[in-house]
Amino acid sequence: MSHYPRIVLASRNQKKAGEIAELLKPHGIEVQSVADFPQAKEVVEDGQSFAENAAKKAYETAQAISEWTIGEDSGLMIDALDGAPGIYSARYSGENATDEKNNAKMLEELKDVPLPERTAAYICNVALSNPQGEICLQVEARCRGRMTDEARGENGFGYDPYFEIIELHKTFGELAPIVKQHLSHRARAFERFIPQLVDLFHELDD
């Protein structure tokens, strides 16, 4: 039985919550989705960067539920589109955005861009708030690739079927989840985040 506090993820995205729970499971840290806490309101993501949005999700949710909280903000930055969709990745196609609509807009924007120039990076920023709403840890990581002109693979979510790791000739949609857990922007951010988290929780125990 873990002696670590549980952590709430300030996201209602069940696929994202599942990915993060899997990353923390080997360390004996239980992750629960904020969807289980009706008193937690939807956080308005009005920051100007992934870092600002991740921190805001973490501390506002922590203040509402008095639990250790992870705020995570991630998105896609396409070089040929001057870094778009960026922090607007989840709502790129407007208010009622879906993965399908976002991908359709992305493909339209890139229709005249040749494959070698469709380079991009997935960015992930992770922030940890204590139950009092104070940010204790924050890290950021990225994964480089390029955007294909057609969807490949059934795995992942968001822009994953179009985001190709050039060296592997495979999109995130084609990668097995176990491989993505080592390569993705989220995996890389949590590689940095987890040792610091474990050290912090050790200090709390002492």
Rounded CA-CA distance 30/197 in Å is: 13
The response to whether 73 counts as a known ligand-binding position is yes
Please tell me which residue in 73, 79, 82, 206 is annotated as part of the active site.
73
Amino acid (1-letter code) at residue 173: G
CA-CA distance, 55 to 108, in Å (whole number)?
A: 32
Q: Which two tokens stand for residue 2?
A: 């873990």
The residue type found at 140 is E
Contacts of 46 (CB under 8 A, 6+ apart): 56
Q: Return d(Cα 206, Cα 201) in angstroms, integer.
A: 9
- Mark whether 199 is an active-site residue: no
Say whether 14 counts as a known binding-site residue.
yes
Contact of 87 with 73, CB cutoff 8 Å: yes
Query: Is 202 marked as binding a ligand?
Result: no
Instruction: Check whether 63 is labelled as a binding-site residue.
Output: no
The residues, ordered by sequence, that sit 6+ positions from 114 with a Cβ below 8 Å of its Cβ are none
Residue 11 annotated as lining a ligand binding site: yes
Is 159 annotated as a binding-site member?
yes
180 annotated to bind ligand: yes
Q: Is 152 annotated as a binding residue?
A: no
Tell me whether residue 2 is annotated as binding: no
142 annotated to bind ligand: no
Closest Cα partner for 99 from 172, 183, 169, 182?
A: 172
Contact 160, 147 (CB under 8 A): no
**Residue 184 assigned as binding residue:** no
**What are the catalytic residues?**
73
Binding residues for substrate: 11-16, 74, 157-160, 180, 185-186
Binding residues: 11-16, 73-74, 157-160, 180, 185-186
Binding residues for Mg(2+): 73
